[in-house]
A and B are shown apart, each in its own frame.
Chain A
Amino acid sequence: MNTRNLVYTALMTAIICVLGLVPGIPLPIMPVPIVLQNIGIFLAGMILGKKYGTLSVIVFLLLAAAGLPVLSGGRGGIGVFAGPSAGFLFLYPVVAFGIGFVRDQYFNKINFVVLFVTTLVIGVLFLDIVGTIIMGFIIHIPVSKAFLLSFTFMPGDIIKAIIASLIGVTLLNHSRFKSLIQ
C-alpha cells in the first residue's frame, strides 16, 4: 500500500459516510425514500477495485462501530452490529469485494451492462436475500418469511444499482478521473 492508495481509501470511506447523511430522497410510486448509502458501497467496489474498495467499506464499518452516526438514519455505535440490520452491515465488504473483483477483470473494457449486471446480482439479489435471512435469525423469524420480506427492499435497491452503474461507468470512462485512479 502506498500513500496515494491510503488516502483514496480514506476518501472513499468519507464519501460513503457523507452519502449516508444525505436525507432520503422521495420517489414517486415508492413508499419509502431512497437513501444513498448503498450507492456508496457499490461505488467503492467500482472505483477502487476489490482490495481498496473492500478496505474502505471495512473502515466505514469501524467508524460506525466507534459511535459516529454515519449509518443511514443517523445510527451508529457497536449495538447496531448486534441488531436486526447487522447482516446487511457485515455483507457490505463482501458486496464491495465482489463488485470490485468484476471491475478489476473488465477494467479496460468497462461499460454500463457489465457494471449493472454485477451490481444487480451481488449488490441487490445477494445482499437483500442473505441480509434479510440473517435479519430473520436475529429477530427469530422463520427463513421463509424473511425471504419474502427481502422483496420489499429490492425495488429501491434496483434503482440504486442503476444510479451507481451510471455514475461508475461515467467515472471509469472519464479520462481525467481514470488517470487519477490508475
Chain B
Amino acid sequence: MKNKLIIGRYLPNNSVIHHLDPRAKVLFVFMFIILIFFAHSFATFGWIILLILVFMFLAKIKFWFLIKGLTPIFIFTLFTFAMHIFFTHGGTRLVDYGIIKIDSAGILEGIFISLRLITIVMVATIMTLSTSPIDLTDAFEKLLTPLKWFKIPVHQLSMIMSIALRFIPTLMDELDKIILAQKSRGSELSSGGLMTRIKAFIPLMIPLFISAFQRAEELAIAMEVRGYDANVKRTSYRKLQWRMADTMCLISFIPIAVVLFVLKYIGV
C-alpha cells in the first residue's frame, strides 16, 4: 500500500492552462460538464471532442494520459452500452432472435451515453492533470464562500482539507504497522470463513482509531498553543491571483455553448 503515495495526478508543466487561476478552471469545467448533458447527436459530440482536443493541446497533455484516465469507468461504459443495446428499442430492428432484440435506436443511444461518460471524464482529467490539489482546495474554499450565509463553516473547510491531506500518509503508515503487527500475532484477513474475516477487521480498526484520535487531540492542543482559533478570520500565506486570461477563459464559454445549441437545433 506504500506504493500508493497521495500525490494526486498533477503533472507539473508550463502551459497556458497550468497558469490559469484554479477558480476559473473549476467554474469552466463545471459549466462544460453541464453543457455535455445537452449533447445528443454526432455533430454536437464532434464539437465537444474537438474542444477537448484543443484543451489537451493547450495544457500540453499527451493523449495517452486522457485514455488512462478512462480506465476506472471502462467497465461502466461497457455495461451502459450493453444495457442500451439490449433494452432500448425503436428505429430499425437489426436482430430478432428469441429474447435477444437489437434495434438501431439502442445502438445509437448506447453510443451517445458512452460518449457522454467518456467526454466528461476527459475534461475533468485535463483539469486534474493541470491543477495541483492544494490549488483546487483553495479554489473550492473561495467558490463556496457564499454558503456561509447558510451557516456552513466555509472558512474552516480549507483547514480541514489541509489537515486531512497531511494525515493521509500518516494513517497509511499506521495501518501498515497495525496490519503487520496483527499478522505477526496470527491474525489473517485473507483466509478462513466469512465470520472469521469479519471479526479480523476489529483488531485492525480499533487500534487505528484510538491512536489516530489521540494524535488528533495532540495536534489540536499544539495548534491552540500556537495561537490558532477556528472561529477567527485568518490571513493566508498562499494567494490566488485573478488575471485577464481567467476572464477570457470564462467568457470563451459563451461561443462554445452557442455553437453547440446551434448544432443541436438545426438537427444535424
| Chain A positions near chain B (C-beta within 8 angstroms) | 1-11, 13-15, 17-18, 21-23, 25-29, 43, 47, 55-56, 59-60, 62-63, 65-70, 73-80, 82-85, 139-142, 145, 159, 162-163, 166-167, 170-171, 174, 176-177, 180-181
Contact = CB atoms under 8 A, between A and B. Distances in A.
B83 A139 contact: yes
Contacts of A176: 210
Contact of A83 (B6, B117, B219): B117
Contact of A180 (B161, B194, B213): B213
A78 B30 contact: yes
Interface centre among A7, A10, A23, A83 (most CB of B within 10 A): A7
Task: Give the size range of B's interface with the partner.
Answer: 35 or more
A65 B135 CA distance: 12
Contacts of A1: 153, 156, 230-231
Nearest to B134: A66
Interface stretch (B57-65, B199-207, B237-245, B259-267): B199-207
Interface stretch (B93-101, B220-228, B248-256): B220-228
A11 B160 CA distance: 8
Given A7-B223, A83-B73, A28 B193 contact: yes
Contacts, number: 223
30 contacts: A1-B153, A1-B231, A4-B216, A6-B159, A6-B220, A7-B217, A7-B220, A8-B213, A10-B159, A10-B160, A10-B161, A11-B216, A15-B212, A29-B194, A62-B161, A63-B133, A63-B137, A63-B161, A63-B164, A66-B136, A67-B136, A79-B69, A83-B76, A139-B76, A139-B117, A141-B87, A145-B87, A166-B199, A167-B206, A177-B209
B214 interface: yes
Interface centre among A4, A10, A25, A159 (most CB of B within 10 A): A10
Contacts of A83: 73, 76, 117, 120-121
Interface in B3-45: 4, 6, 8-10, 26, 29-30, 33, 36-37
Nearest to A74: B72
Interface centre among A3, A56, A76, A177 (most CB of B within 10 A): A3
A67 to B, nearest CB: 4
A75 B72 contact: yes
A69 B69 CA distance: 11
B4 A74 contact: yes
Contacts of B104: none
Contacts of A159: 194, 198
B6 A68 contact: yes
Contacts of B79: 139
Given A7-B223, A78-B30, A139-B83, A67 B127 contact: yes
